């Protein structure tokens, strides 16, 4: 498909890359993260969020494409110690003041086996991350306003490139062991293992329009079964969706270079 002219290009704030991590034996169980109550975008505090990050800042300059951004973020974010994190990306995206912080994590020492297992898991994620779809995300100012009377963020448009990562069963077992031992495997957010059923039953909401992404992902997995399971179909139909936000699947995506994205979108914030 021919790239649009400059006059036709959609203008977006930034490009992000995230992944849905799941065991190959059960795609309705996922490893995901949650922003805590101190997250500056209060509309999305305590909401679920696919693990990943943004194509922005010094560390992103060498990213060839969204897949490279996702893999870099996995290696930067998943760890066993209480590393100091920073809100620098939010500063770059929204102008927030930069704050250093540490997230909650069990105060237990990591063994050599723990470190080796996490390194193997990260390598497997990097190897098996398969492009799922690209989405154009729109969050209107009203969503930020109703959660924060002091909000200064306006309408937000971005592109989100999504990857699906099916972990081999033995590595998923190791991932769950580490999650149980440390309670959190991220130095930026709070990781959790949850299921489609739990999300629907608790009404657990998902940030930044990624509820639509998860709904699409689960429906895709249902449709691949020889015979759809009615319970799963019902759960996907009742997946909790935050109102007023749109997440629109793009007709094309998964490009091998950011230059191909820049030919199609006017990106305001980038490395």
In a domain, 91, yes or no: yes
Q: Give dist(CA 212, CA 246) in Å, integer.
A: 8
Q: Let me know: does 168 contact 24? Beta carbons within 8 Å.
A: yes
What does pTM read for this prediction?
0.94
Bridge-based pairing of strands 156-167 and 14-23 is parallel
Q: Pick the closest to residue 71 from 87, 52, 54, 84 (CA basis).
A: 52
In a domain, 41, yes or no: yes
Q: What is the CATH number of the domain that holds 91?
A: 3.90.79
The pLDDT score that the predictor gives to residue 82 is: 80
In a domain, 213, yes or no: no
Q: Pick the closest to residue 177 from 120, 101, 104 (CA basis).
A: 120
The pLDDT score that the predictor gives to residue 264 is: 97
Q: Give dist(CA 82, CA 91) in Å, integer.
A: 22
Give the domain extent around 109: 11-196+246-267
In a domain, 85, yes or no: yes
In a domain, 241, yes or no: no
Who's near 5: CB < 8 A, 6+ residues apart? none
In a domain, 183, yes or no: yes
Mean residue pLDDT across the chain: 95
Hey, what are 146's tokens? 């109703």
In a domain, 136, yes or no: yes
In a domain, 2, yes or no: no
Residue with tokens 């580490």: 178
pLDDT per residue over 112-138, tens digit each?
A: 999 999 999 999 999 999 999 999 999
pLDDT per residue over 165-181, tens digit each?
A: 999 999 999 999 999 99
- The four Cα atoms 100, 104, 109, 113 give a dihedral, to 10 degrees, of -100
Bridge-based pairing of strands 266-267 and 11-12 is parallel
C-beta atoms surrounding 146 within 10 Å: 12
Who's near 119: CB < 8 A, 6+ residues apart? none
The pLDDT score that the predictor gives to residue 84 is: 76
- Overall number of domains in the chain: 1
Q: Give dist(CA 28, CA 229) in Å, integer.
A: 12
């Amino acid at each position: 498909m021919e790239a649009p002219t400059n006059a036709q290009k959609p203008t977006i704030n930034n490009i992000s890359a995230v992944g849905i991590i799941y065991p190959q034996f059960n795609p309705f169980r996922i490893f995901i993260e949650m922003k805590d109550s101190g997250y500056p975008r209060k509309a999305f505090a305590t909401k679920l969020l696919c693990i990943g990050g943004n194509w922005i800042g010094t560390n992103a300059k060498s990213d060839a494409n969204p897949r490279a951004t996702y893999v870099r973020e996995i290696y930067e974010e998943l760890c066993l110690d209480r590393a100091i994190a920073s809100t620098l990306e939010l500063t770059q995206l929204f102008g927030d003041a930069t704050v250093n912080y540490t997230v909650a994590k069990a105060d237990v020492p990591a063994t050599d086996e723990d470190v080796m297992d996490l390194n193997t898991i990260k390598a497997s994620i990097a190897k098996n991350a398969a492009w799922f779809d690209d989405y154009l995300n729109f969050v209107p100012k009203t969503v930020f306003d109703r959660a924060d009377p002091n909000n200064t963020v306006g309408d937000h448009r971005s592109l989100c490139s999504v990857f699906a990562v099916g972990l081999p069963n033995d590595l998923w077992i190791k991932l769950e062991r580490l999650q149980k031992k440390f309670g959190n495997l991220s130095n930026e957010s709070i990781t959790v293992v949850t299921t489609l059923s739990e999300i629907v039953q608790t009404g657990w909401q998902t940030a930044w329009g990624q509820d639509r992404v998860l709904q699409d992902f689960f429906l895709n997995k249902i449709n691949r079964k020889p015979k759809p399971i009615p319970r799963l179909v019902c759960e996907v139909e009742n997946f909790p969706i935050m109102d007023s936000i749109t997440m629109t699947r793009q007709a094309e995506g998964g490009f091998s270079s950011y230059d191909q994205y820049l030919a199609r979108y006017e990106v305001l914030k980038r490395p």
